[in-house]
Structure 1
């Protein structure tokens, strides 16, 4: 590795791409660390470019990029992830055959949502892994196919770089067996590894590390990662002990287009009543339910918050109610709560949601300061992650009660780069 190590973090969501270029000085010695030094190195990674594409495959597509000498925000519609990724690479002179002003990329970190039973830690990808990764597509149909497409494109463009998959499910491998297993015949666990895997683990790992760097070492922590995909995690002494998503990302909270936990017999009844195929039912549960299904209009939280019709209001009430319920469950699982965190696109940016949730948690000593809560929302709506990590800028305290409550900007791309660099250093 050269004196200047340069990394790409790419996060392909179901309809979005987040893309960052990061770097740090020093070769292998800069990232080959002792255990107590590892978290501190998050502070040395510097983002030199950030890019985001949203609403892929729709007429509402958008493109944003910011670097040292560039800033662009435009409405651009992309047919698919391949078209979007190629646009990013061309825009930033990143194709291998473009020698003019092309950056040298040492490591590419890929978010991979479902690692299944075999992938429990970051993995340096070779050809032999691709077939196994393809077999996981059905476990996270909104994400894994997009993750794989991004991996295949980037491996083709950067054949000399190290490609590392960082799995969302890895953080939750510490969940104890009694919380991981479903009350099905144990045969299904023994034979098919039917268990709770959990997701958003990269985000939870980042928040956990960030609070530790800020010397906030809470023993009983609940983190709410609330975005179009949403989950909650109970963390005890730095380790996940339960989380709302399960064998697939469909379980748990109501989400943008996903139903979350429902009576398990409903899909069978719907299949019969609609004379529908399995694919149609899965499409309803994953893509046509949640905020979109109840509101009949949109899954966009901001848009729903601005509407005054009864279905939009009902969708938001159901959304917040389920968050409140899971927080209560996990407070019981932890035997108390030392701190509550809101993160993710909605969790960071919506003071309204945080206020709605916390007003029902006063029994646990949780109260928020309305002024701080509003200011945090306004701040994160304009947040710029360019440059090095700034702990103070990433964490906003919003409580007025005895239990700390935070709005925190999560940075999955930074966490991915961090884990990927450490993985390469250990080879």
Structure 2
């Protein structure tokens, strides 16, 4: 790669029935610019469509390869130098890696640990390989940021024979946490709790920018409740559902990943904005439970850190749902958190009062930009050898 020129990196985020593309120009100084973006929706379904520039066009999209071709045709990027993929579960991989047949084999083996996410990422990688076979591809892992978890934080209390199968706490949303850490700069020093709250939600305890604990564990189902995911449950709940409700593994997966969380409690929606606009008891309970679980998680992570020097809200809910931020932070005064009601309502960058012992920030995350940076740095390093 020519280090004096910009790298045009296509960032790919593949879901089970969706595909999101974002093209970035990354300069030698590390600065990145988003040039264009688009998404494909409901892939493989009759209502499939692409969305570019806010315009939705319904068209048949049989699979991820068809979706990729349709999006690239619509976006018409003048050039693509490299492709970066978000891969949710990277297992023991601790840094971005060039996509090779050997890497694909290892990622295939991780599918049981992330059955909702990794197959989609692999489909996206294969679609790109078919359409742009000579363009280098890089896999960026959401788990890699949490490779610094100490042994006590990553170990599950299971017998060794199960732990030797790779059952441990990995943590997720690492690309988001890494982006926030870089954005904080020198403010990342000390003890920081970051709450990435969206349809998927987790929190991380950072010490000097390094992950020392996080709420998600073996899979992205664990931790606090989410849009449609249950978060942590008493294992006895699953045993009960197996024995008494006769649920098999597929039904249990639907129950905890697609029918739980905000959707399950509210019996209405997984969308926080819709719930905030609702006046039903179930909607209010779902919001209150979400805030309660996040508040408890903050307390637990503060205990892991031995206190808190800074707090950050990010993600769709974290960035935009002021009432939820307020509900979460009420009761955290013992940790030095004191919100400014007006600043919080306005969605200011700093929502704590000047007297607050723990500054509280609201920051936009950009996982695609983090992917683009990783791709640039990996290819630049490879060329320098």
Q: TM-score, normalised by structure 1?
A: 0.83
Pick from 48, 58, 74 the counterpart of residue 56 of structure 2: 74
- 2:370 aligned with 1:420: no
- 2:181 aligned with 1:208: yes
1:62 and 1:73 in contact (8 A); partners too: no
Pick from 362, 375, 381 the counterpart of residue 346 of structure 2: 375
- Residue in structure 1 matched with residue 75 of structure 2 by the alignment: 92
Pick from 159, 162, 168 the counterpart of residue 142 of structure 2: 168
1:60 and 1:75 in contact (8 A); partners too: no
1:291 and 1:299 in contact (8 A); partners too: yes
- Check 1:150–1:76 CA distance in 2 against 1; reply closer, same or farther (3 A cut): same
After superposition, the C-alpha distances for 1:327-386 in whole angstroms (9 at most, x for unaligned) are 000111111101110101111111111111111211211121122212227xxxxxxxxx
Distance of 1:179 and 1:257 partners within structure 2: 26
1:182 and 1:196 in contact (8 A); partners too: yes
Shift of 1:221: 0.2
- Residue in structure 2 matched with residue 256 of structure 1 by the alignment: 227
Q: Which runs of 5+ in 1 are unaligned?
A: 31-40, 66-70, 95-102, 378-395
Distance of 1:414 and 1:18 partners within structure 2: 13
Shift of 1:76: 4.5
- Residue in structure 1 matched with residue 215 of structure 2 by the alignment: 244
Q: Number of residues paired by the alignment?
A: 377
- Residue in structure 1 matched with residue 91 of structure 2 by the alignment: 116
Shift of 1:55: 6.4
- Check 1:369–1:144 CA distance in 2 against 1; reply closer, same or farther (3 A cut): same
Q: TM-score, normalised by structure 2?
A: 0.92
- Bigger mean CA deviation after superposition, 360-369 or 242-251: 360-369
Shift of 1:86: 3.1
2:69 and 2:131 in contact (8 A); partners too: no
1:255 and 1:291 in contact (8 A); partners too: yes
Shift of 1:409: 0.3
Q: Secondary structure at the match of 2:217?
A: coil
Distance of 1:55 and 1:369 partners within structure 2: 41
- Residue in structure 2 matched with residue 332 of structure 1 by the alignment: 303
Distance of 2:42 and 2:272 partners within structure 1: 14
More RCO (CA 8 Å, sep 6+): 1
Pick from 193, 202, 217 the counterpart of residue 231 of structure 1: 202
Q: Secondary structure at the match of 2:295?
A: helix
Distance of 1:81 and 1:398 partners within structure 2: 41
After superposition, the C-alpha distances for 1:216-246 in whole angstroms (9 at most, x for unaligned) are 2331000000011100000011110000000
